[in-house]
Amino acid sequence: MTTRCRQCDTDMVLDTRGMPIAYRGETTVIPSVTGNICPVCGEVDRDTIENSHRVKREIYSFCSMIRAKDRIMPADRIEVSTFSSSNRRTDNEDRYVTTPVAGGYLLGVFDGHNGSAVADYAAANLARLFLEQLDGDHPYPEVLRLTVSLLIKECGKWDHVGSTLSVVFIRGSWALVATLGDSPVLITHANGVFMSTPHNVKGNPSDATVVAERCEAMSNHFRCFCVDNGRVHRGDFGVSLTRALGDRELEGVLIDEPDLVSLDLLPDSVVIVASDGICFTHNKAAQEDFYKLLLDQVHHGVESPYLAAWVRATHPEIRDNMTLLVAQVIPKAEEEADLNLERLMAFIG
């Protein structure tokens, strides 16, 4: 029995073609849909579609993407406060970045050592490199990975100067995190509390083992690498980190892969990016308990300068440079209703 089009009353024919879909002003075409299709207006008889589960998945994926784009968090939905101080040191080698970019917000802390040249370069070029990778049409996690890889490469010209890297990109209801070194990132998210893993000899036994093995493999009569007293050494030069930007003297010994994490945020998530000037112990449990207190302070409205004052008051033994970036997601008055695809996918029953 011939099916007639409900739109233009034309006899429909069995055919395979793209099926147009429109949702919230955006359109796409589901490829290779087989069923009774009107040759005049393109209407599809939903009851005759073959492999409807594949079509359902593609429609759901498209609509979810549009919904996520609609939920992009504008910069004015993120409150950011900053603090940076030399503390009890003569010079402040910390550098930081806070900037709206690509419909989201980019936060970065770079804790320099043996000078600030690498931290200066990384802070000055982070946003530029991030935007350049976006032009390549990469997914956001790949954009962040490529950005960090380029910073590692471009900072490789400094022999005895280096820096940590801790970067968070917040967009919509998620955050991407990249870390090299021991500048902590703390985030309250949908599944609990995220605390970045420190990349240093005393706080990361796994990294320390890898670096020690590399030291042994690369040492010879002309150069000697070792891990000793909480530091990675080549001759008189040494750092406490197992991963870092710069430090070409330790190329091939230090690990050059960042930790990359993607997190789903809450409507009132808190993000803290800091230098290790807020770290007072290598006891993991004690430090994590302290981090939870920091996050709790922010949830109660404490901003970076007052948070730093609280850190110094509770732990006056901390002497290192101290940088604190605090970003808090501000909930909308009315959260968007859940996506409803019933009418759009009615044809699958």
The answer to whether residues 57 and 98 belong to one domain is no
Confidence check: pLDDT of 196 > 50? yes
The answer to whether residues 118 and 184 belong to one domain is yes
Confidence check: pLDDT of 349 > 70? no
Mean pLDDT of 272-278: 94
The answer to whether residues 188 and 52 belong to one domain is no
Please, what is the angle between helix 304-314 and helix 284-299, to 10°?
Answer: 140
Which of 68-72, 117-121, 143-147 comes out lowest in average pLDDT?
68-72
Predicted TM-score (pTM) of this structure: 0.74
The answer to whether residues 82 and 152 belong to one domain is yes
Which of 41-50, 245-254, 272-281, 304-313 comes out lowest in average pLDDT?
41-50
Mean pLDDT of 326-337: 62
pLDDT score at 223? 75
* Residue-range definition of the domain harbouring residue 177: 75-198+258-329
The answer to whether residues 62 and 104 belong to one domain is no
Q: Are strands 237-239 and 231-234 parallel, antiparallel or unpaired?
A: antiparallel
CATH of the domain at 190: 3.60.40.10
The answer to whether residues 193 and 280 belong to one domain is yes
The answer to whether residues 111 and 142 belong to one domain is yes
pLDDT score at 94? 96
* One-letter-per-residue 3-state SS of 78-93: EEEEEEEECCCCCCCC
Alpha-carbon distance of 211 to 244, in angstroms, equals 12
Confidence check: pLDDT of 217 > 60? yes
Does a structural domain hold residue 310? yes
Alpha-carbon distance of 234 to 46, in angstroms, equals 70
pLDDT band of residue 347 (cuts 50, 70, 90) is very low
Last residue of a domain, one of 70, 98, 115: 70
pLDDT band of residue 2 (cuts 50, 70, 90) is low
Give the C-alpha distances (Å, rounded to integers) separating 129 from 51, 125, 148, 149.
43, 6, 9, 10
Last residue of a domain, one of 27, 42, 70: 70
Domain count, the chain: 2
The answer to whether residues 110 and 183 belong to one domain is yes
Alpha-carbon distance of 228 to 216, in angstroms, equals 12
Does a structural domain hold residue 90? yes
CATH of the domain at 41: 3.10.20.860
Confidence check: pLDDT of 112 > 60? yes
Does a structural domain hold residue 270? yes
Mean pLDDT of 60-72: 59
Nearest to 155 by CA among 103, 104, 118: 118
Alpha-carbon distance of 315 to 311, in angstroms, equals 6
User: 149: Cβ–Cβ under 8 A, 6 or more apart, which residues?
Assistant: none
pLDDT score at 338? 36
Mean pLDDT of 185-211: 94
Confidence check: pLDDT of 191 > 90? no
Surface-to-core class of residue 91, CB atoms within 10 Å of its CB (0-12 exposed, 13-18 middle, 19+ buried): exposed
Does a structural domain hold residue 277? yes
Degrees, nearest 5: CA angle 279-285-289: 70
Does a structural domain hold residue 283? yes
DSSP string, 215-250: HHHH--SS--EEEETTEEEETTEEESBSB-EE-GGG
Mean pLDDT of 72-100: 84
The answer to whether residues 138 and 181 belong to one domain is yes
Does a structural domain hold residue 163? yes
Map tokens 């990016």 to a residue: 273
The answer to whether residues 140 and 80 belong to one domain is yes
The answer to whether residues 38 and 83 belong to one domain is no
Does a structural domain hold residue 317? yes
Map tokens 């970067």 to a residue: 167
Mean pLDDT of 2-6: 76
φ, ψ (nearest 5 deg) of residue 287 = -65, -40
pLDDT score at 304? 87
The answer to whether residues 145 and 291 belong to one domain is yes
Does a structural domain hold residue 240? no
Contact (Cβ atoms closer than 8 angstroms) between residue 270 and residue 299: yes
